[in-house]
Homo-oligomer: A and B are copies of this chain.
Amino acid sequence: MGERRTSWEELQEPAPEVESSPVVGVFDSGFGGLTVLKALVRQMPGAQFAFLGDTARLPYGSKSRRTIARYAAESAQFLVNQQGAEFLVIACNTASALALDAIQEAVDVPVLGVIEPGAAAAAASSSTRDVLVIATEATVASHAYAAACRAQGLRAVEKACPLLVPLVEEGWIEHPVTAEVVGIYLSEVLEEARAAEQSPDTLVLGCTHYPLLRKVFEMTVPDGMRIIDSAEATAEEAARLVSAQVSEARSGAPGFSQAPSIRCFATDSVEKFERLGSRFLGLPVGKVELVDLGG
């Protein structure tokens, strides 16, 4: 957690200047997006966070654009209209890839996805201008990363890795089977890059579950390949945008209060969220509130 460690007790206390702290809505199909929330708390320790996991309808990664857009728009409206979010972070690669437009149409606050910041971080990392992107089926099928990378002057080879989310959720984080599966997926995408005469030097983790497998990736990638986690890049960009928004809207206001507050909501499986969520947030997630979005 770097220099400043936020204890769970601090997070549970009401923020002292809560009225002037911005409410940042963070949305994911499940709880993988808690890796992004963790980075956001580090970047904006005084903000109020409302996190929604649409766990009744997860995973989005294997579903169609039309369905994902509907689910994501409903979830965004809950955070803005019912939780007062003044800024939305889409902490889900699949929803960012397929539904950012639908979300921006559904709500009237600034919305930031994880794809653009991830591609920008890849551009800052890559010397060869060739990168690999691993993600869910739906994210890869959308080619949103390839487009965002192209806009940064990069060539990207994308690869769907549908077994990695279930392996993380099974808790096989440093398991030999996981290492074997990662090895298979990486050798396939490297082979594809070779066939396309590309020389990738950077691997983008295009799914919020994948940072939990960082050690396995580090052991498996070729020497010298850098690993980009878009959570960090997204959190930095979000902090910049939120600060600008706050100082514009409330000139003279203190901006952030001293301690963050986090409220977590889920559309299902509150117990599972509470049990698994701490793996992703790096802190206990506390009491998760059940929400019915009617789906």
Q: Which residue of B lies closest to A167 (CB)?
A: B163
Chain B residues near A58 (CB-CB < 8 A)? 62
C-alpha gap A166/B167 in the complex (Å): 9
A181 contacts partner chain B, Cβ-Cβ < 8 Å? yes
A247 contacts partner chain B, Cβ-Cβ < 8 Å? no
Q: Determine which residue in A58, A64, A272 has the highest number of CB atoms from chain B within 10 A of its CB, and name it.
A: A64
Contact B181 A268, beta carbon cutoff 8 Å: no
Chain B residues near A63 (CB-CB < 8 A)? 55-56, 268-269
Contact A268 B64, beta carbon cutoff 8 Å: yes
Chain B residues near A177 (CB-CB < 8 A)? 177, 180-181, 184
Chain B residues near A67 (CB-CB < 8 A)? 56, 267-269
Q: Nearest Cβ in chain B — how far from A71, in angstroms?
A: 9
Tell me which of B57, B62, B180, B181 contacts A269 (CB under 8 A). B62
A162 contacts partner chain B, Cβ-Cβ < 8 Å? yes
A 257-295 binary contact with B (CB < 8 Å = 1; else 0)? 000000000011100100000000000000000000011
Specify how many copies of this chain sit in the oligomer: 2
Contact B180 A170, beta carbon cutoff 8 Å: no
Tell me which of B66, B166, B172, B269 contacts A166 (CB under 8 A). B166
C-alpha gap A180/B180 in the complex (Å): 10
Q: Determine which residue in A57, A165, A166, A184 has the highest number of CB atoms from chain B within 10 A of its CB, and name it.
A: A166
A188 contacts partner chain B, Cβ-Cβ < 8 Å? no
C-alpha gap A70/B267 in the complex (Å): 13
Chain B residues near A184 (CB-CB < 8 A)? 177
A17 contacts partner chain B, Cβ-Cβ < 8 Å? no
Q: Which residue of B lies closest to A165 (CB)?
A: B166
A174 contacts partner chain B, Cβ-Cβ < 8 Å? no
Chain B residues near A162 (CB-CB < 8 A)? 166, 169-170
Tell me which of B55, B166, B272 contacts A163 (CB under 8 A). B166
Q: Which residue of B lies closest to A175 (CB)?
A: B184
Q: Which residue of B lies closest to A295 (CB)?
A: B295
Chain B residues near A268 (CB-CB < 8 A)? 63-64, 66-67
Q: Nearest Cβ in chain B — how far from A7, in angstroms?
A: 31
Extra pairs beyond A55-B63, A166-B166, A294-B295 (19, CB < 8 Å): A56-B57, A56-B63, A57-B295, A58-B62, A64-B269, A66-B268, A67-B267, A67-B268, A67-B269, A162-B170, A163-B163, A163-B170, A163-B172, A165-B166, A177-B177, A177-B181, A180-B180, A294-B294, A295-B295
16 example contacts (A-B, Cβ-Cβ < 8 A) are as follows: A56-B67, A57-B57, A58-B62, A62-B269, A62-B272, A63-B268, A64-B268, A162-B169, A163-B163, A163-B170, A163-B172, A165-B166, A177-B177, A177-B184, A294-B295, A295-B295
